[in-house]
Amino acid sequence: MESDEASSLDEASLGVRTERVLPSSPRAVFAAFERPEQLAEWWGPHGFTNTFEQFEFRPGGRWVFVMHGPQGTHHANECVLREIEADARIVIEHVVKPWYRLTVTLTAHGEGTRLSWLQEFASPQMAASMRPLTSVANEQVLDRLQALLERAARGKERRAATT
């Protein structure tokens, strides 16, 4: 029991957790990660865009991209996809500063999906310094993901109504 408590405490001190129930299937949510044209649309806080230089969606694959901020800033990023379990789990390691591991877990929830997003940093100090920014940014990222999923669902409904 003590080891379980320790791992929970370690997770809490090193990480930022965000959860949301999305109105789409785990398959649709997973597709928004695996399809670079979709991922580029929603990855990042409000006002950000992305240019992907390399995107290898497989375990050990590299993801190299630049996030373009709304004030004209450019943020180089490089990640390695550590684990991929179709429709269920993705583990991404951000290998440039600030280092973090992002674990995304997808679980069926009624007709939708519970997305759990755990961003773990290298130290409790780094987590504490990143938490205020990351907590807000992660919610904005998930807002953008949810909007993309809702647009896709409306498009499917329109196509179904015309056939």
Q: How far apart are CA 86 and CA 94, in angstroms?
A: 20
CB 78 within 8 A of CB 62: yes
62-83 pLDDT tens trace: 999 999 999 999 999 999 999 9
Tell me whether residue 72 is in a domain. no
Query: Across the chain, what does the average pLDDT equal?
Result: 90
Query: How many other CB atoms are there within 10 angstroms of residue 47's CB atom?
Result: 11
User: Looking at the domain assignment, is residue 31 inside a domain?
Assistant: yes
Confidence of residue 7 (pLDDT cuts 50, 70, 90): very low
pTM beyond 0.85: the answer is: yes
DSSP secondary structure string, 65-80?
A: EEEE-TTS-EEEEEEE
Domain of residue 91 covers 14-47+85-162
In a domain, 110, yes or no: yes
108's tokens? 């069926």
Residue 130 has pLDDT above 70, yes or no: yes
User: In the numeric block, which tokens belong to residue 59?
Assistant: 């375990």
Residue 38 lies in a domain: yes
Distance CA 153, CA 2 (A): 45
Does 27 fall in a domain?
A: yes
Burial 121-159 (b: 16+ CB within 10 A, else e): beeeebbeebeeebeebbeebbebbbebbeeeeeeeeee
pLDDT tens-digit series, residues 88-104: 999 999 999 999 999 99
Among 72, 43, 7, smallest CA distance to 143 is for 43
pLDDT digits (tens, 9 = 90+) for 132-142: 999 999 999 99
Neighbour order of strands in the sheet with 112-121:
15-22, 112-121, 100-109, 89-94, 74-85, 62-68, 49-55
Q: What is the pLDDT of residue 140?
A: 97
CB-side exposure of 158: number of CA atoms within 13 Å? 6
CATH assignment at residue 103? 3.30.530.20
pLDDT recorded at residue 83: 98
In a domain, residue 137? The reply is: yes
What percentage of the chain carries pLDDT values higher than 90? 83
- Answer yes or no: is 121 within a domain: yes
Q: Count structural domains, the chain.
A: 1
Determine whether 110 is exposed, middle or buried from the number of CB atoms within 10 Å of its CB (0-12, 13-18, 19+): exposed
Cα separation of 40 and 123, whole Å?
29
In a domain, 95, yes or no: yes
